[in-house]
Structure 1
């Protein structure tokens, strides 16, 4: 049996002409008129003759070809088909070598439809891009464990608690995405890392808001008719976020209803649904006062170009040494509703543009409570503009 092996020499391989040369044990050199030649292993599996390519003579030496042939002959002896085994190993190697940065980008692409403006703002991907991928991006996703994650997020776990929490959540999504692609990953790695990182010392701070009883006095002080004063007044009356108000366009207003496009609504997964805001008489009066100041279709333009910035309204309040900020007027309105009215929870939340209930519940509830919200905002306007009359309890 030994004599039947290793028939060829390196020189014979180099000088071989066209044809098929046997090295023994099923290892053959196939040489054509053109090209360097190909190593082939012949074997029989389940009474079937098969040929397995082992590479070209240019890339695989005689010694390497013999070692490969020995390995695959051993597989045949164990009842394993070498061709099938090699393909299985190749697939496993691909899984091990799939990098986290590739999985993260693919996960991001698959979720763009759920994100504001197709994720162009970068808020979904940036926690990964800034804090995770520089350290773990080049690592195969199947090799990432809780220790890797802990060491990556530990520097910001307390100092940038919210960012670290988002990065950990995004990473968990990436691991689930990798599993769906067929990669072998530890789906519990992020939860294990969370346990290792421990409780965050950082505590979320509520947005400072003006008590609802003090809003009328502040509203009355916004009396000079400038863009900033008019914008703040309309912000208070409507309870909307500052971004939709700053980018308010005249064509969004029809009669006494202002329709905010769905893609402009923060925090809404369904970006196809617009949000209607009822405009009470006081709000309509403010809009008429602002129209002469409008530019390029925007009701509240800045002095130079574009629209008024959120910082402009915030600085006005800072100059008055107020702790509250413009966004806080939403809290002022919500507290007023809770403390002085009997408004149902769904209407109160709808007034602030919040999504209420699960997907199925929302599918059956088609109303946006426009008229109920109009009545509520009329009472809010009465409170804001006539502080001495006090608040009214809504039955």
Structure 2
């Protein structure tokens, strides 16, 4: 196979992202940020592998074209006698002891201390990167983890638990990126999605189409609300309040009385409990206010919807129990009611898209656009939520106010 195709001038002048081959497995990789590095690609035991030789250059820690060719020749020699360059190249043998994937995970998580949105977020990372999903990787040298290993971890869960598996892929990519920066591995990241794993596993959006959370058609919502009104208990009231406000489960169940302004009919959810990480004001319709006043009469804690244990909120399983009681559990999920609201607002009203998305606490537009809308969005959303409450009450012909542009 031809070798020594590149010249030092070509290496210095190359700017277009991609790869330039020097021949027989040695490549110059140009990243989108302009960085350049040497990669040696080879096949061993039927598996394609990539081994990084270092960043391009002539300074300390840099690798020139001539140096890269010397490294490539050593790797070819090892392969020629059936060896493994990853383990046998003299430069690599001189380095400190290898690090396992488990050690890389621990180091990454330690670097993220104080940056978690909440304890649950941290626990999810630890669980998915631990024995529950990554048992086969834990004791493996992080430098030796390849594409086959990543696919083997993800594939068993990709169809049935696609959202979890998709998040796990992103976390695996973070771990391996950390290991590369720490000097524990080299080469491209085998867990990256674009241009790599996407060709081996179905795209997440092909699995997570709208309706991933089963949702009732909005036309059935008035009947559902009527049935819910006939169920007693904190769970039924919490579910009703959740639907009226189009809020997420955690936002409702952990809501406290300090967040409610009954006079202004506004519920202010702190940024710590919001998925987007920013404070969200929710306009309260008359029926939502009625629910709050009824709960205030039986108040036993700071939580609006208290649980059985002292100083704890209602369990999300209590909301699921309401669905089972009403025999809707096989057709609907609690989170799916947000989809019902979104479909109704898009199909049956003329409220602008940005007002509808704001009601769902979705962030849209750039920073300047969001700042421009911030001052008047609350009252526009109040009219939207009042219209939603009227619809849920069975007043399907309720007039929807045309908003001026």
What range describes the TM-score normalised by the shorter chain of this pair?
A: 0.5 to 0.7
* Aligned: 1:327 with 2:332: no
Q: Is the 8 A contact 1:347 1:369 kept in 2?
A: yes
Q: 1:177 deviation in Å?
A: 1.6
1:240 aligned partner? 247
1:208 aligned partner? 214
Report the Cα distance in structure 2 between the residues aligned to 1:327 and 1:172, rounded to whole angstroms: 29
Q: Alpha-carbon deviations, 1:194-213, whole Å to 9, x = none?
A: 36854489934621222222
Q: Alpha-carbon deviations, 1:265-298, whole Å to 9, x = none?
A: 23x2xx3x22111112221121101112221111
Report the Cα distance in structure 2 between the residues aligned to 1:111 and 1:252, rounded to whole angstroms: 30
Structure 1 pair 358–99 and aligned structure 2 pair: CA distance change class (3 A): farther
Among residues 192, 197, 202, which one is paired with 1:194 in the alignment? Answer: 197
Structure 1 pair 211–260 and aligned structure 2 pair: CA distance change class (3 A): same
Q: 1:100 deviation in Å?
A: 2.1
Q: Alpha-carbon deviations, 1:296-334, whole Å to 9, x = none?
A: 111212345433222222222223222112222211111
Structure 1 pair 366–383 and aligned structure 2 pair: CA distance change class (3 A): closer
Q: Is the 8 A contact 1:100 1:139 kept in 2?
A: yes
Structure 1 pair 358–138 and aligned structure 2 pair: CA distance change class (3 A): farther
Structure 1 pair 265–195 and aligned structure 2 pair: CA distance change class (3 A): closer
Counterpart of 1:346 in 2: which secondary structure? helix
Q: Is the 8 A contact 1:158 1:200 kept in 2?
A: no
1:180 aligned partner? 181
Report the Cα distance in structure 2 between the residues aligned to 1:365 and 1:177, rounded to whole angstroms: 39
Q: 1:106 deviation in Å?
A: 2.3
Counterpart of 2:191 in 1: which secondary structure? helix
Q: Which moved more, 1:275-284 or 1:190-199?
A: 190-199
Among residues 245, 249, 260, which one is paired with 2:269 in the alignment? Answer: 260
Q: Which has the larger radius of gyration?
A: 1
- Structure with bigger helix share is 1
Q: Is the 8 A contact 2:257 2:303 kept in 1?
A: yes
* Aligned: 1:348 with 2:350: no
Structure 1 pair 130–356 and aligned structure 2 pair: CA distance change class (3 A): farther
2:296 aligned partner? 291
1:13 aligned partner? none
Q: Alpha-carbon deviations, 1:163-185, whole Å to 9, x = none?
A: 33332221111121222224442
Report the Cα distance in structure 2 between the residues aligned to 1:239 and 1:260, rounded to whole angstroms: 13
Counterpart of 1:350 in 2: which secondary structure? helix
- What pairs with 1:59-208 in structure 2 (closer than 5 Å)? 93-94=95-96, 97-117=98-118, 121-131=122-132, 133-158=134-159, 160-191=161-192, 194=197, 197-199=200-202, 203-204=207-208, 206-208=212-214
* Aligned: 1:369 with 2:377: yes
Q: Is the 8 A contact 1:215 1:384 kept in 2?
A: yes
Report the Cα distance in structure 2 between the residues aligned to 1:351 and 1:123, rounded to whole angstroms: 28
Structure 1 pair 359–251 and aligned structure 2 pair: CA distance change class (3 A): same
Q: Alpha-carbon deviations, 1:56-104, whole Å to 9, x = none?
A: xxxxxxxxxxxxxxxxxxxxxxxxxxxxxxxx9699513x613322222
Q: Is the 8 A contact 2:239 2:319 kept in 1?
A: yes
Q: 1:251 deviation in Å?
A: 0.9
1:84 aligned partner? none
Unaligned regions of 5+ residues in structure 2, if any? Answer: 1-89
Q: Is the 8 A contact 2:134 2:153 kept in 1?
A: no
Counterpart of 2:124 in 1: which secondary structure? coil
The aligned length equals 303
Q: 1:250 deviation in Å?
A: 0.8
Give the RMSD, CA atoms, in angstroms. Answer: 3.1
Counterpart of 1:173 in 2: which secondary structure? helix
Q: Which moved more, 1:115-124 or 1:172-181?
A: 115-124
Q: 1:218 deviation in Å?
A: 2.2
Counterpart of 1:206 in 2: which secondary structure? coil
Report the Cα distance in structure 1 between the residues aligned to 2:298 and 2:337, rounded to whole angstroms: 24
1:307 aligned partner? 313
Unaligned regions of 5+ residues in structure 1, if any? Answer: 1-87
